């Protein structure tokens, strides 16, 4: 095993200072600045470094190229593993499928730097709020019927009045996509006027009293307006996208074309090695409304029933009490969690790695990790621990990251030990104590 040094990204939406687990996990001095993402992998925008000696580090792709025993197939990992600490809403976004990713990269490499798709899975470490998928036609029909300001924006954004009337009555889920497109295309001055009217305290109170089921959406609109004043994404996020609240350990799988935006909380995230994002709201960055709306139409077309009925939850399989395996339907990755039980057997709990691909593990609670054999008794560990490079016994603090070789078993122990592992998909049957 080798310890990894990983890059912390300081995007504006990250939690600030001590509130951010990314700041705590990054290992540096914690400043009162936003710390958003910890990147673990080989992606060129933030490759991890392998600590080969106490004062020497090597880029992970270079290390894998020189050590085929860690990964036989390629010097690049098929996945990118992250920790996110979210203090405010991320952009409303979607990720292209492989065909579209290649086309976007070919025609606009500045904004789409990767020719790869980006399916991803997020699993909550704390309570996690996010938007994912479309609201039901019935919910949107209520909002369109009750919120004059939303109807005004749809009309001004180019949605035909017969389509707006049809949406008020329910109708085709594709009408929700058209409503999103009209809102995203509406002139900023019209959006500003609509939100000024909608956010007036008397107006909010009147709407909540008339339709109590709207209260949560109105409160969300107020939150988003506070973070991104007069952005078209305030209306899209509050009234047209589906709200989710995940408890720790719950996960969502976000396949191609699925609209989403994280709102608040902490999570681990694993994805195909890509940084392709199509954005269209709640961001000052480049927006590609036309492409995003094409992707939303494909998303709806893939769900013959109301797309809001589609579940994005990825429930783990649990082949052993200490083990959770989140295995979405993609070949690039899966997420494994090892939790040390109170009655942990001598030697620790174990997991066997992928036969050909290296894995990356991060401890969210302190633990011991042993490579290739059960852990020795506790009184022997400090004496035997080897903190030099390439050791087979390590004590990990919260936030410690290690590189695990292919086709080797590990054992984990420690009071309340909690280890998350990013690995390639289709690992073999797991052997465990």
CB-based contact 140:176 (threshold 8 Å): yes
What is 217-256 written as a DSSP string?
HHHHHHHHHHHSTT-HHHHHHHHTEEEEEEPTT-EEEE-T
Residue 247: how many CB atoms within 10 A of its CB?
9
What is 64-91 written as a DSSP string?
HHH-TTT-SS-SS-SEEEEEEEESSPPP
Residue 40 has phi, psi (to 5 degrees) of -130, 110
Which of 279, 337, 339, 408 is an active site residue?
279
Angle at which helix 137-146 crosses helix 174-185, to 10 degrees, equals: 50
Instruction: Map residue 146 onto helix, strand or coil.
Output: helix
CB-based contact 288:110 (threshold 8 Å): no
CA distance 318 to 351: 12
Whether 279 is a known active-site residue: answer yes
Residue 384: how many CB atoms within 10 A of its CB?
12
Q: Which residues are catalytic?
A: 279
């Amino acid at each position: 095993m080798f310890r990894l040094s990983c890059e912390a990204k300081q995007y504006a939406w990250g939690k600030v200072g001590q509130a951010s687990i990314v700041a705590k996990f990054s290992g540096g001095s914690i400043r009162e600045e936003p710390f958003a993402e910890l990147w673990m992998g080989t992606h060129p925008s933030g490759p991890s470094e392998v600590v080969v000696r106490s004062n020497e580090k090597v880029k992970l792709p270079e290390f894998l190229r020189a050590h085929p025993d860690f990964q036989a197939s390629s010097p690049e990992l098929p996945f990118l593993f992250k920790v996110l600490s979210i203090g405010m809403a991320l952009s409303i976004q979607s990720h292209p499928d492989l065909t579209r990713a290649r086309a976007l990269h070919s025609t606009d490499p500045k904004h789409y730097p990767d020719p790869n798709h980006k399916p991803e899975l997020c699993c909550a470490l704390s309570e996690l709020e996010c938007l994912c998928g479309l609201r039901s036609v019935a919910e949107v029909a209520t909002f369109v019927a009750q919120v004059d300001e939303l109807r005004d924006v749809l009309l001004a954004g180019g949605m035909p009045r017969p389509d707006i009337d049809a949406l008020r009555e329910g109708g085709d889920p594709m009408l929700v996509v058209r409503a999103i497109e009209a809102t995203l295309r509406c002139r900023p001055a019209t959006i500003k006027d609509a939100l000024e009217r909608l956010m007036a305290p008397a107006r909010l109170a009147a709407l909540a009293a008339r339709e109590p089921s709207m209260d949560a959406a109105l409160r969300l609109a107020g939150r988003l307006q506070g973070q991104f004043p007069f952005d078209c994404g305030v209306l899209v996020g509050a009234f047209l996208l589906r709200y989710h609240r995940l408890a720790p350990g719950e996960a969502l799988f976000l396949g191609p074309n699925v609209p989403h935006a994280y709102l608040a909380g902490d999570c681990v995230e694993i994805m195909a090695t890509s940084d392709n994002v199509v954005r269209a709201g709640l961001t000052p960055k480049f927006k590609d409304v036309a492409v995003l709306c094409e992707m939303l139409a494909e998303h709806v077309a893939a769900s013959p029933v109301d797309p809001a009925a589609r579940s994005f939850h990825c429930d783990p399989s649990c082949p052993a009490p200490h083990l959770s395996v989140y295995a979405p339907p993609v070949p690039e990755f899966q997420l494994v969690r090892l939790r040390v039980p109170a009655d942990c057997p001598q030697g620790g709990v174990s997991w066997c790695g992928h036969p050909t691909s290296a894995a990356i593990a991060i401890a969210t609670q302190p633990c011991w990790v042993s490579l290739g054999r059960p852990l020795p008794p506790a009184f022997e560990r400090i004496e035997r621990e080897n903190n030099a490079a390439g050791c087979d016994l390590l004590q990990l603090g919260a936030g410690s990251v290690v590189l695990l070789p292919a086709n080797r078993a590990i054992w984990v122990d420690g009071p309340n030990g909690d280890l998350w592992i990013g690995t390639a998909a289709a690992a073999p049957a797991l052997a465990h104590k």
